[in-house]
């Protein structure tokens, strides 16, 4: 097939959707599942706070780095092959992680899991769209997105039950048989397809997208250990910024870019992307700190910790439904959702900062984080997607996903760095919470200002007439 979405009818489109949605659920679960296992992993391997941050970020950074290159390669060489290869790699790496006998092997497994996740996620939306006729496509894409949102909300809850019952290794081993079945079924029913023929492959842009984020994350995580003035930290920050600049210049000038960065020139798109970035700084950052707060300081076991997260998951799901309903009525409602969500996310950091060892405040932080993300993320994702910047909806979709996962990676790195720089665990938690609050406040204020300037909110008309097209949450 040489066209992006059209081709021969797919024999079993609902099975295709089930496979892609299952993958989205597992990938989103794994983004937060392992957080619950961090105390057990730390005890097993004697890991420090920065090393535990790497356990989280090795996956997130690899996933984020693969999204743009993965989409470009899939469009050039085939979506089904990319998706199935990613599924096989993710499953094999999960098995290695579950059997790891050293922290180094575990970190390598997390990197490979992130690579596999990126390879699956990059072509997933296109594969879903290919399987359905245009009249059914919106509902199918909403189902796929909902599976990812559900996995992200339930990941910590399921993780608490599984880790508390069977141990941390099952956080890695549990997805393996599910993925094996999905891999066999996917090889039989997933449609073949690739992008339009004759479009040049942007190899320089693809390579730059692959490597740009890694040195920045490494610098943030290692700065407390090496010192902010360390030549290694300064050098990594400089290299990362130069790579990002080179990527932006390349993609702005390339005749057929892997990712059209000119989309960010539209203030409403740039503002919504900043809000998405801030939302995931909060989501991953709060979970990282609360995991240490409740399990290490307060002594909750994994099962109790997982149950404690149920109100957060419920708040997240309910608010995402509210946001989807409100934003189909009026963009003034969209503005209210974004503003309320950002205030809640700042509060999720600021409230427990006053007394980080108090369990009730940590619970309040979790619920606020669920409310804030449920309101802000669906609206901001819809604003990016519905703007359809430039010529490519694919660019808008990729931007929405990359902003979220990059925010998660940077959030964990920045907050773990702040926490590790303190003399004691309590002081570190306080510093981490305040670092998160300030970061989300700054990013949210900048994103909101751009949205208002660009008319992205407050125009008094719906974001989208079809509610099914509103992304129901991250994933």
Two tokens at 36? 């619950």
Predicted confidence at residue 455, as pLDDT, reads: 61
In CATH terms, the fold of domain 7-194 is Growth Hormone; Chain: A; (1.20.1250)
Q: Is the torsion defined by CA of 442, 346, 362, 37 positive or negative?
A: negative
Full pLDDT tens readout for the chain, 475 residues: 344 545 545 668 889 889 988 998 898 888 777 878 888 898 899 888 788 888 888 888 888 888 777 777 777 778 888 899 999 999 999 999 999 999 999 999 999 998 999 888 878 877 887 777 777 766 776 677 678 767 876 777 788 888 888 889 998 998 899 999 999 999 988 887 765 555 667 788 778 878 888 888 888 777 777 777 889 989 999 998 999 899 888 888 887 777 777 777 778 788 888 999 999 899 888 888 888 888 777 777 777 877 787 888 888 878 877 887 776 665 567 788 889 999 999 999 998 887 766 678 888 888 999 899 888 887 887 777 665 544 455 556 667 778 888 888 788 888 888 888 887 888 888 889 999 999 999 999 999 888 887 665 544 444 443 333 334 343 4
Distance separating alpha carbons of residues 288 and 281, to the nearest angstrom: 10
Integer CA distances (angstroms), 361 to 204, 271, 328, 434, in order: 48, 30, 34, 14
DSSP 297: I
Tell me the HSE value of 373 on the side-chain side, using a 13 A CA sphere: 33
Predicted confidence at residue 382, as pLDDT, reads: 74
Tell me the HSE value of 283 on the side-chain side, using a 13 A CA sphere: 36
Distance separating alpha carbons of residues 115 and 97, to the nearest angstrom: 14
Q: Where are the domains of the chain?
A: 7-194, 203-255, 261-466
Two tokens at 148? 């990812």
232-242 pLDDT, tens per residue? 989 999 998 99
| CB of 472 closer than 8 Å to CB of 145 | yes
Written out in words, the top-level CATH class of the domain with range 261-466 is mainly alpha
DSSP 248-303: HHHHHH-SS-SS-GGGGGSHHHHHHHHHHHHHHHHHHHHHHHHHIIIIIIS---HH
Q: What predicted TM-score, i.e. pTM, was given to this entire model?
A: 0.76
| CB of 318 closer than 8 Å to CB of 404 | no
Query: 13-45 and 134-166 are packed helices; what angle lies between their axes, rounded to 10 degrees?
Result: 30
H or E segment and range at residue 391: none
261-466: same fold as 7-194?
yes
Distance separating alpha carbons of residues 387 and 374, to the nearest angstrom: 21
Contacts of 286 (CB under 8 A, 6+ apart): 348, 349, 365, 366, 369, 436
Distance separating alpha carbons of residues 160 and 36, to the nearest angstrom: 6
Distance separating alpha carbons of residues 380 and 457, to the nearest angstrom: 10
Predicted confidence at residue 465, as pLDDT, reads: 35
Predicted confidence at residue 396, as pLDDT, reads: 60
């Amino acid at each position: 097939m040489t066209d992006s979405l059209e081709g021969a009818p797919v024999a079993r489109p609902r099975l295709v959707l089930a496979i892609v949605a299952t993958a989205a659920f597992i990938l989103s679960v794994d983004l937060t599942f392992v957080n619950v296992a961090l105390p057990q992993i730390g005890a097993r391997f004697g890991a420090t706070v920065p090393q535990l941050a790497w356990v989280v970020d090795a996956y997130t950074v690899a996933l984020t780095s693969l999204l743009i290159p993965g989409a470009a390669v899939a469009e050039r060489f085939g979506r089904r092959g990319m998706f199935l290869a990613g599924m096989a790699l993710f499953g094999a790496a999960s098995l290695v992680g579950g059997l790891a006998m050293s922290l180094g092997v575990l970190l390598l497994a997390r990197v490979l899991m992130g690579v596999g996740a990126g390879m699956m996620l990059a072509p997933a939306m296109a594969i879903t769209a290919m399987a359905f006729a245009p009249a059914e496509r919106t509902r199918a894409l909403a189902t796929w997105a909902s599976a990812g949102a559900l996995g992200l909300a339930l990941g910590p809850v399921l993780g608490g039950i599984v880790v508390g019952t069977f141990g941390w290794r099952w956080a890695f081993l549990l997805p393996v048989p599910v993925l094996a079945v999905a891999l066999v079924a996917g090889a039989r029913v997933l449609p073949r397809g690739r992008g339009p023929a004759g479009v040049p492959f942007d190899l320089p842009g693809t390579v730059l997208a692959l490597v740009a984020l890694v040195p920045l994350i490494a610098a943030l995580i290692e700065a407390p250990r090496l010192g902010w003035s360390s030549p290694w930290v300064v050098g990594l920050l400089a290299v990362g910024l130069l790579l990002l600049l080179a990527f932006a210049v390349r993609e702005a000038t390339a005749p057929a870019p892997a990712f059209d960065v000119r989309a960010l020139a539209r203030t409403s798109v740039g503002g919504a992307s900043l809000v998405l970035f801030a939302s995931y700084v909060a989501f991953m950052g709060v979970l990282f700190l609360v995991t240490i707060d409740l399990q290490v300081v307060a002594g909750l076991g994994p099962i109790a910790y997982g149950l404690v997260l149920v109100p957060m998951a419920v708040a997240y799901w309910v608010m995402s439904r509210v946001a989807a309903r409100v934003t189909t009525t009026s963009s003034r409602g969209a503005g209210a959702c974004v503003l309320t969500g950002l205030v809640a996310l700042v509060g999720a950091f600021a409230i427990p900062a006053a007394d980080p060892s108090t369990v009730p405040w940590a619970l309040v932080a979790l619920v606020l984080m669920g409310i804030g993300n449920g309101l802000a993320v669906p609206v901001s994702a819809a604003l990016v997607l519905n703007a359809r910047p430039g010529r490519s909806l694919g660019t808008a979709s990729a931007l929405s996903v990359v902003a979220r996962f990059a925010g998660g990676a940077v959030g964990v790195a920045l907050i773990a760095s702040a926490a590790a720089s303190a003399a004691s665990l309590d002081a570190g938690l306080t510093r981490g919470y305040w670092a998160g609050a300030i970061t989300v406040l700054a990013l949210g204020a900048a994103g909101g200002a751009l949205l208002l300037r660009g008319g992205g909110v407050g125009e008094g008309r719906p974001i989208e007439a079809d509610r099914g097209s509103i992304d129901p949450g991250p994933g």
